Amino acid sequence: MITYEEFCSRVAAVEARMAAAARAAGRDPATVRLLPVTKTHPADAAVFSARRGLAAVGENRVQEAAEKRPLAEAALAAEGVAAPRWELIGHLQSNKARAAAESFDRIQSVDTEKLARRLDAAAAERGRPLAVLLQVNAGRDPAKFGCELEDAPRLLDAALGCAHLRVEGLMTIAPLGADAAATAELAARTFANLRELRDTLAARHGVALPELSMGMSGDLEAAVAAGSTCVRVGTALFGAR
């Protein structure tokens, strides 16, 4: 695990990249937030993030978050630092919906109607709404999770019909190409697809879908240029896993 000082230096570097990309796209840098991805790193990664003033952290697995969150929150309470929100960015099986609703404040990876209904039931049991994003396979990558672009309207209908879910936007992961140039082209196309889908769905359903979670360490500039509001970064902040 890197030191807190090194982490802060890396955050500053990533935030500078994000701000430059936003200004180049004619956007206010404040409209894009950094979500540090703490998966496979110890609870200190979440502690560092909160201490630095980052409001949320992203995790890929339910069990890992369930183990790390209490440790991080106890350490932060001892420091008098507010705990971060926890967001699930990894694939979620419907049979783990209840556990996910207990461990996370937002689920970014809702990709089926069945999962939406399971999360709705779990949120109802807990007596509070659960924020979600719909994951879309906007790059049509067979190796990625997410609903197909054509299925997104039906998934949104289902999620909006869930009384205990609060649909806040969309999420996607760009495919990898055969080389750097191909990967960059695929990423730009994927992110444009998600933005256009969001605009279409918001107009068609008459709902606000403000969040576009897209972009990671290697493609955040393309994501910000396409309208990302949440960039998920792990390696550039915490180093290789």
Q: What per-residue confidence (pLDDT) applies to 241?
A: 66
- What mean pLDDT, rounded, does the chain reach? 96
Q: CB of 232 within 8 A of CB of 89?
A: yes
Distances (CA, A) of 160 to 126, 156, 171, 201: 19, 6, 16, 12
Q: Which of 33, 40, 46, 90 is nearest to 235 (CA)?
A: 40
List all residues 6 or more positions away from 228 whose beta carbon is below 8 Å from its beta carbon: 32, 191, 212, 213, 214, 215, 220
Whether pLDDT at 178 is above 80: no
Q: What is the pTM of this model?
A: 0.95
CA 86, 89, 94: angle at the middle one, nearest 5?
A: 100
Whether pLDDT at 227 is above 70: yes
Q: What is the pLDDT of residues 21-59, one digit of tens each?
A: 999 999 999 999 999 999 999 999 999 999 999 999 999
Band of the pLDDT at 230, cuts 50, 70, 90?
A: very high
* H/E run at residue 134: strand 130-135
Q: What per-residue confidence (pLDDT) applies to 176?
A: 83
Distance CA 109, CA 59 (A): 11
**Own/partner long-range contacts of 14-18 (Cβ < 8 Å, ≥24 apart):** 14/217, 14/220, 14/231, 14/233, 14/236, 14/237, 17/220, 17/221, 18/220, 18/224, 18/231
